[in-house]
């Protein structure tokens, strides 16, 4: 692993601008593997609009943890974890726990420990709320994400689907349970 100097902090409403930009970058890098199709572009502009993140950032049970590059003058966003700290049934695997909604790291910072650090902090928040599990859904074709979650202790507990812009995609449900 290369060295990367980063710091974690909780986000506030003011962070919507950078979270939105990073989300669009990571979303397109991950899913627009055969060019930017109109459905992907629409999803990026709607789901990841600044205002959409402002609304999510003010939801009381939703938390955003940021990983920021540390520099002498200004810090830059490298990635974030978005977690819903509520009891929510998982779409497979018969769990009721917190949901990891997104874990997005800038491509240039992949495999440098940001994802693991953000996920560990998210798990600490979940356990502090006395929730039993943390679950997420990942696109079946996202091999990098599936390898990452397996490496950091998440079990594949079943299948689900995700529909956006009229298209349905096969997803896996991944989860970690806490004692
Ligand atoms: C998946 C993602 C969050 C991983 O974050 P990351 O910062 O690159 O991962 P880390 O550097 O913290 O890696 C943690 C461990 O997982 C392993 N790992 C990470 N990516 C991997 C991959 N593609 N294949 C195999 N192992 C991988 C690392 O080697 C590391 O193991 P180690 O600690 O034993 O060396 C990041 O690649 C990402 O944002 N991808 C695009 C968006 C995405 O797909 N998000 C998830 C949607 S469900």
The pLDDT confidence band at residue 1, using thresholds 50, 70 and 90, is very low
Mean pLDDT of 73-93: 95
Position 42 in a domain: yes
Answer with the residue of higher pLDDT: 86 or 2.
86
pLDDT of residue 74: 82
Confirm whether 1 is domain-assigned.
Answer: no
Residue 2: the pLDDT is 55
Ligand 1 pocket, mutate which of 115, 142, 154 (most atoms under 8 A from CB): 115
Beta carbons within 8 Å of 79's beta carbon, 6+ residues apart? 22, 26, 66, 67, 103, 104, 105, 106, 109, 114, 115, 118
Parallel/antiparallel/unpaired status of strands 96-105 and 6-10: unpaired
Among 6, 101, 109, 148, residue to substitute to test ligand 1 (most atoms within 8 Å of Cβ): 148
pLDDT at 38: 94
DSSP 35: B
C-alpha 176 – ligand 1 centre gap (Å) = 16
Domain count, the chain: 1
Q: Once rounded to an integer, what is the mean pLDDT over residues 79-95?
A: 97
pLDDT tens digits, one per residue of 25-73? 999 999 999 999 999 999 999 999 999 999 999 999 999 999 999 887 8
- Per-residue buried b or exposed e for 56-88, using 16+ beta carbons within 10 Å of the residue's own CB: bbeeeebbbbbbbbeeeeeeebbbbbbbbbeee
**Quick check: helix, strand or coil at residue 74?**
coil
Residue 176's Cα: distance from chain center in Å? 15
What mean pLDDT do residues 81-97 have?
97
CATH (domain of 144): 3.40.630.30
> pLDDT: is 119 or 75 the higher one?
119
Whether residue 148 lies inside any domain: the answer is yes
Task: Write out pLDDT tens, residues 117-174.
Answer: 999 999 999 999 999 999 999 999 999 999 999 999 999 999 999 998 888 999 999 9
CA 115–ligand 1 middle distance (angstroms) = 6
CA 108 – CA 119 distance, rounded (Å): 18
Among the atoms of ligand 1, which is closest to the Cα of residue 79? 39
CB atoms < 10 A from the CB of 173, how many? 20
CA 25 to chain CA mean position, Å = 13
- Domain range for 96: 6-177
């Amino acid at each position: 692993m290369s060295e990367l100097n980063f710091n974690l902090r909780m986000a506030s409403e003011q962070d919507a601008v950078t979270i939105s930009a990073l989300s669009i970058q990571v979303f397109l890098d991950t899913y627009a593997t055969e060019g930017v199709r109109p459905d992907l572009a629409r999803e990026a502009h709607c789901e990841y609009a600044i205002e959409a993140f402002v609304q999510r950032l003010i939801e009381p049970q939703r938390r955003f943890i940021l990983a920021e590059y540390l520099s002498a003058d200004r810090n830059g966003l490298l990635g974030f974890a978005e977690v819903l700290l509520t009891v929510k049934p998982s779409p497979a695997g018969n769990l009721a726990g917190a949901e990891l909604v997104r874990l997005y790291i800038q491509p240039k910072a992949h495999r440098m420990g940001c994802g693991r650090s953000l996920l560990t902090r998210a798990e600490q928040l979940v356990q502090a709320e006395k929730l039993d599990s943390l679950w997420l859904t990942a696109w079946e074709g996202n091999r990098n994400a599936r390898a990452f979650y397996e490496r950091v202790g998440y079990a594949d507990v079943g299948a689900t689907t995700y529909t956006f812009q009229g298209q349905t995609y096969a997803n896996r449900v991944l989860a970690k349970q806490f004692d």
